Amino acid sequence: VDENTPPETLESRTVEAVAKYIKDGVRPQRIVVMTGAGISTSAGIPDFRSPDTGLYANLARLNLPYAEAVFDISYFRNNPLPFYTLAQELYPGHYRPTITHSFIHLLHKKGLLLKLFTQNIDCLEREAGVPDEKIVEAHGSFARQSCIECKGAYPRELMERAIKEKTVPHCLDESCNGLVKPEIVFFGEQLPEAFFKNKSLPTEADLVIIMGTSLSVQPFASLPHFCRDATPRVLINSEQVGDLGSRADDVLMLQDCDSGVRKLAEACGWLEELEGLWAET
Ligand code: CNA
């Protein structure tokens, strides 16, 4: 689609037109949000692959055979220590949600959020107030933990204690005694059932907002394709990703997420409310 192709659903491919569509829509607005590591970098959580600041670049001290081994299930089985060293840093509680996380909460508060699909494992959406039933953690998270052998659930308090005491937790069933791990999807593991159960939801969306992701990890990267052609898709990201921009109703906001959501909230007349909500987190 040429830049000049007129949109079908929006009045124009601008943030103001998106705001008008959200506010004046004749249909109830069902918004699907899709997010990645870029919405948490301003909270201080590094992404994985940036050459100097990324987590992988800082794993030398763990003596791994290769950086990704820290998230490899067969490596973990033999040596869980590097993962648990990292988990002490990443475990929820150290970081504050960003205003972008609060924006997703605001959509929920306004009854507009159909579903949030996140690739992040940091639980910051929950901490910002988005309820569990609205979140699909496509790559899992620290929210739950279980035995990697018998899959038995493991209590959160015990995991918190293990993290604090720097020990590696084992299955409570002594006949199993398997290793326990947060339900983060490792290389070599299936995505959670919730992802497959919900992945057709974008077809029901009136609006899709994609933020802070390079859309390079499958099958997540396919989600934006599932929404109908006339459904506006808004990308708030430092760079253009996926096929965003190729449809008549795609709106590109190529900037950092926090200023992008502030702009969108302002156009909706919600900026003060958003800042207030964020201040409470
Ligand atoms: P990615 O591949 O690192 O892409 C991030 C995208 O966000 C890139 O396009 C960046 O240009 C963009 N970006 C970075 N910072 C900003 C910002 N402040 N404003 C706007 N855009 C920005 O990350 P993806 O999530 O796409 O990759 C998927 C992996 C990374 C998933 O498996 C995640 O679990 C994993 N990951 C998660 C976290 C976390 O939970 N916070 C941290 C690091 C990696």
CB 85 near ligand 1, within 6 Å: no
Which residues constitute the domain of residue 247? 15-43+97-139+191-279
Please name the helix (run of DSSP H) or strand (run of DSSP E) that holds residue 268, with its range, or none: helix 257-268
Average pLDDT estimate for 6-12: 92
The residues with which 31 forms a beta bridge, in sequence order, are 113, 207
The closest alpha carbon to 2, from 10, 13, 11, belongs to 13
Residue 45 Cα to ligand 1 midpoint, Å, equals 10
Same domain, yes or no, for 107 and 132? yes
Average pLDDT estimate for 117-122: 94
Same domain, yes or no, for 168 and 232? no
Average pLDDT estimate for 115-128: 95
Choosing from 101, 105, 139, 170, which is the catalytic residue? 139
Same domain, yes or no, for 201 and 229? yes
pLDDT confidence of 234, banded at 50, 70, 90? very high
Please name the helix (run of DSSP H) or strand (run of DSSP E) that holds residue 17, with its range, or none: helix 15-24
Residue 49 Cα to ligand 1 midpoint, Å, equals 9
69: domain CATH number is 3.30.1600.10
246: domain CATH number is 3.40.50.1220
SS3 181: strand
CB 214 near ligand 1, within 6 Å: yes
227 annotated as a binding-site residue: no
CB 41 near ligand 1, within 6 Å: yes
Instruction: Name which residue sits closest to atom 26 of ligand 1, judged by CA.
Output: 213
Average pLDDT estimate for 100-107: 98
Number of domains composing the chain? 2
Q: Is residue 263 part of a domain?
A: yes
Atom of ligand 1 nearest to the CA of 121: 40
Task: Give the pLDDT confidence of 131-150 residue by residue, as tens digits.
Answer: 999 999 999 989 899 999 99
Residue 28 Cα to ligand 1 midpoint, Å, equals 30
Atom of ligand 1 nearest to the CA of 220: 28
Farthest-apart Cα atoms in the chain, separation: 66
Whole-number mean pLDDT of the chain?
92
Q: Assess whether 139 carries a catalytic annotation.
A: yes
SS3 106: helix
CB 35 near ligand 1, within 6 Å: no
123 annotated as a binding-site residue: no
The residue out of 184, 210, 245 marking a domain boundary is: 184
User: What phi-psi label fits residue 107: left (phi over 0), alpha (psi between -120 and 50 degrees) or beta?
Assistant: alpha
Same domain, yes or no, for 269 and 156? no
CB 217 near ligand 1, within 6 Å: yes
Q: Is residue 176 part of a domain?
A: yes
Residue 106 Cα to ligand 1 midpoint, Å, equals 22
Q: Assess whether pLDDT exceeds 90 at residue 243.
A: yes
Q: How many residues are present in the chain? A: 281
